């Protein structure tokens, strides 16, 4: 008689965590979107207990916000949180690209980098946002693998970075997107040349543009910081000081998606 074989599989909360993270990366879940427990239990095939546990885990990672009245929703980064995240990215990724340049000649590292860039390049700056997000994440993951420091890779805030992109990118002009995308090719060339210093400077240029874009978003594009929520006058002053984009090129803030608008997970 054939015995049943035990198959290792992720726990139910882990399944929910992975599904929500994947949904953010694919743009299925957007910043500010509510996460309905009943929808998640039905779509992922788990009970409400694991869903609630997963939401707490995601809240601890800064991906989901939990409030008594609004429930669970994908976190929206405030101006100070955006600033903090950009500073972290500048340090972590900046160090990773320098390390990757030092190790580019080891094994198949150069080949891995070129292949990851080709997958990213096929989309271009105006390609499908979900596919672009997947291949951009893989591009950076490849750089971290080449850098050869697993702890450094674990510190990389992948999902919060995607949340930042989802909040900022709709406001970028076509020209700004093209400039940002061109940095990837420049970065690859510097890495293949083993130029760690040059690679870091290119990434710092890239992250500086991101910092400028975040600072010049129109009023109310980002939720106010906690201090501003408690002090409406301070919030009004901050919004007044935040530069508005050219009306001819500005994009309206994307509408928050409800459950009927979400894309299926693949």
Q: What is the pLDDT of residues 98-153, one digit of tens each?
A: 999 999 999 999 999 999 999 999 988 888 888 888 899 999 999 999 999 999 99
Closest by alpha carbon to 30, among 220, 155, 132, 169? 169
**Is residue 117 within 8 Å of residue 184, measured between CB atoms?**
yes
Instruction: Using pLDDT thresholds of 50, 70 and 90, give the confidence band for residue 192.
Output: very high
Q: Considering Cα of 139, then 140, then 141, then 146, what sign does the dihedral take?
A: positive
CA angle 68, 73, 75 (to 5 degrees): 110
Count of Cβ atoms closer than 10 Å to residue 138 Cβ: 14
Q: Decide yes or no: CATH 1.10.10.10 for domain 12-75.
A: yes
Give this prediction's pTM: 0.79
What dotted CATH number matches 79-215?
1.20.120.530
Q: Which residues, other chains included, contact 86 with Cβ-Cβ below 8 Å and sequence gap of 6+?
A: 164, 207, 210, 211, 214
**Is residue 198 within 8 Å of residue 190, measured between CB atoms?**
yes
Q: Tokens 């900022």 appear where?
A: 168
- Bridge partner list, 34: 73
> Where are the chain's structural domains?
12-75, 79-215
Closest by alpha carbon to 44, among 264, 191, 256? 264
Q: What is the pLDDT of residues 27-43, one digit of tens each?
A: 999 999 999 999 999 99
Q: What is the pLDDT of residues 41-81, one digit of tens each?
A: 999 999 999 999 999 999 999 999 999 888 999 999 999 99
Q: What is the pLDDT of residues 211-249, one digit of tens each?
A: 999 999 988 889 998 655 555 454 444 454 444 444 444
């Amino acid at each position: 008689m054939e015995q049943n074989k035990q198959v290792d599989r992720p726990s139910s909360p882990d399944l929910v965590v992975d599904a929500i993270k994947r949904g953010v990366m694919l743009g299925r879940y957007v910043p500010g979107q509510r996460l309905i427990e009943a929808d998640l239990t039905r779509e992922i095939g788990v009970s409400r207990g694991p869903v609630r546990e997963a939401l707490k885990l995601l809240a601890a990672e800064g991906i989901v916000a939990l409030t008594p009245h609004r429930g669970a929703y994908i976190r929206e980064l405030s101006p100070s949180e955006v600033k903090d995240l950009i500073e972290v990215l500048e340090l972590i990724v900046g160090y990773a690209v320098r390390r990757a340049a030092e190790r580019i000649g080891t094994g198949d590292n150069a080949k891995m980098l070129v292949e990851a860039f080709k997958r990213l390049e096929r989309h271009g700056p105006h390609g499908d946002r979900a596919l672009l997000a997947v291949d951009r994440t893989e591009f950076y993951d490849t750089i971290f693998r080449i850098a050869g420091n697993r702890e450094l890779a674990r510190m990389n805030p992948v999902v919060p970075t995607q949340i930042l992109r989802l909040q900022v990118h709709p406001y970028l002009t076509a020209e700004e997107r093209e400039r940002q995308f061109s940095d990837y090719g420049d970065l690859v060339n510097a890495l293949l040349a083993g130029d760690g210093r040059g690679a870091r400077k290119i990434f710092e240029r890239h992250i500086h543009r991101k910092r400028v874009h975040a600072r010049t978003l129109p009023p109310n594009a980002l939720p106010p910081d906690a201090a501003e929520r408690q002090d409406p006058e301070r919030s009004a002053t901050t919004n007044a000081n935040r530069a508005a984009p050219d009306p001819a090129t500005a994009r309206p803030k994307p509408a928050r998606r409800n459950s009927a608008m979400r894309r299926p997970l693949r």
